[in-house]
Amino acid sequence: MPALRLEGVANAILGPLSFSVAEGESVALLGPSGSGKSTLLKIIAGLLPHQGRVYFDERDMSRVPAHRRGLGYMSQDPLLFPHLRIDTSLRLVLLFDRASAGQRGARTAETLHLCAIDHRADRRPATLSGGERQRAALARALVRRPRLLLLDEPFAALDPPTRRRLWDEVDALRRRLGMTLVLVTHSPEEAARLADRTMHLVNGHLV
Ligand SMILES: Nc1ncnc2c1ncn2[C@@H]1O[C@H](COP(=O)(O)OP(=O)(O)OP(=O)(O)O)[C@@H](O)[C@H]1O
């Protein structure tokens, strides 16, 4: 049973697209700027209206709102709650998942450490650098240990050593937890490092 399946998904920019991603598989989405990669990720996340169907584990999610899809999503502009500390943002995700206070604290600390942003836990997003904000947003996408993880150019603002270290961390975590990953990237090296398979989007169509 595929972890993710799209059937005739289309909007003004995309498709119709039909494809499956197996449980635990990692897929990189490549393609020129403006080809619809971010749009496709937003549709899977439940953030854009569309035609066709999106299934998680063969369950039709098309009418399920984003916050009830249980996935991890990091957008291209790493949006974080502007008025909240970074650690509070992560705890809030776990509160939606009804985790206990103890679990919320422990999981938040562990994930901030994993993404090398624990030293900024008490900051608000506006006071972080672009790369720090990206690591904080990645931590927020990972904190619930989602079965399906959607990442939109998650490492673009990082220096090469940090990027390579985070590739290793994310890849290890994904394999350990059996997460399914859809990753948008412009880097063939990143795709080769993190993905089992690549898909190319051109003008809203898979080629
Ligand atoms: N809110 C919007 N309203 C109108 N058009 C939009 C909107 N968002 C995106 N588009 C258009 O949809 C197309 C696909 O955009 P999308 O962001 O999905 O591309 P992308 O492949 O992720 O590009 P990049 O690699 O530059 O991030 C573009 O032509 C863009 O201008």
Q: ipTM of the predicted structure?
A: 0.92
For 49-61, write each residue's pLDDT tens digit.
Answer: 999 999 999 999 9
Residue in 114, 141, 120 with CA at minimum distance from that of residue 132: 120
Cβ of 15 closer than 6 Å to ligand 1, yes or no, is: no
Q: Where are the domains of the chain?
A: 82-145
Entry pTM: 0.91
Assign 70 a pLDDT band (cuts: 50, 70, 90): confident
Q: Which two tokens stand for residue 53?
A: 């169907």
Cβ of 33 closer than 6 Å to ligand 1, yes or no, is: yes
For 128-184, write each residue's pLDDT tens digit.
Answer: 988 899 899 999 999 999 999 999 998 888 889 988 988 998 898 899 888 999 999
Q: Which two tokens stand for residue 49?
A: 């209206």
Statement: residue 81 has pLDDT above 90? no
Cβ of 156 closer than 6 Å to ligand 1, yes or no, is: no
Cβ of 185 closer than 6 Å to ligand 1, yes or no, is: no
Cβ of 13 closer than 6 Å to ligand 1, yes or no, is: yes
CA of 13 to the centre of ligand 1 (A): 8
β-strand partners of 199: 29
Q: Are 2 and 22 in contact (CB under 8 A)?
A: yes
Statement: residue 78 has pLDDT above 80? no
- Chain mean pLDDT for the chain: 92
Q: What angle do CA 94, 98, 101 make, to 5 degrees?
A: 70
CA of 86 to the centre of ligand 1 (A): 28
